[in-house]
């Protein structure tokens, strides 16, 4: 009789509910883990896209700078700033002017 009393005390419906809840928590945990991994990858991709966008803008600016440096007018202006003169020209230096 003691085994029969023990069997009557075991609440199989409660054990079924608890085991179902444990399985549900494990499955939910797996989904949360995958969702966090997805969000991390998405964030990293957005960061990489921002870097590519910045590098594209820098590349465009450098190409424009390269075209400008190959322009004869820019070369002449930069040479004058450095104090260079063309062949046949005579450089003059004005001294004694008050500083502004």
d(CA 67, CA 50): 26
Per-residue pLDDT tens over the stretch 13-70: 888 889 999 999 999 999 999 999 999 999 999 999 999 999 999 999 999 999 999 9
- Model pTM above 0.75: no
Residue linked to tokens 């005390």: 9
Q: How many CB atoms lie within 10 A of CB 74?
A: 13
Domain ranges of the chain: 2-81
d(CA 56, CA 35): 31
Answer for the pair 68, 74: CB distance below 8 angstroms, yes or no. yes
Tell me which DSSP letter residue 44 carries: H
Answer for the pair 91, 83: CB distance below 8 angstroms, yes or no. yes
Per-residue pLDDT tens over the stretch 55-77: 999 999 999 999 999 999 999 99
């Amino acid at each position: 009789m003691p085994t029969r009393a023990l069997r009557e005390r075991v609440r199989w419906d409660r054990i079924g509910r608890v085991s179902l809840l444990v399985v549900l928590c494990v499955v939910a945990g797996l989904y949360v883990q995958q969702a966090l991994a997805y969000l991390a990858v998405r964030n990293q991709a957005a960061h990489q896209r921002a870097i590519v966008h910045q590098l594209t803008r820098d590349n465009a600016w450098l190409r424009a700078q390269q075209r400008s440096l190959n322009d004869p007018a820019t070369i002449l202006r930069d040479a004058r700033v450095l104090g260079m003169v063309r062949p046949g020209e005579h450089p003059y230096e004005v001294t004694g002017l008050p500083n502004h």
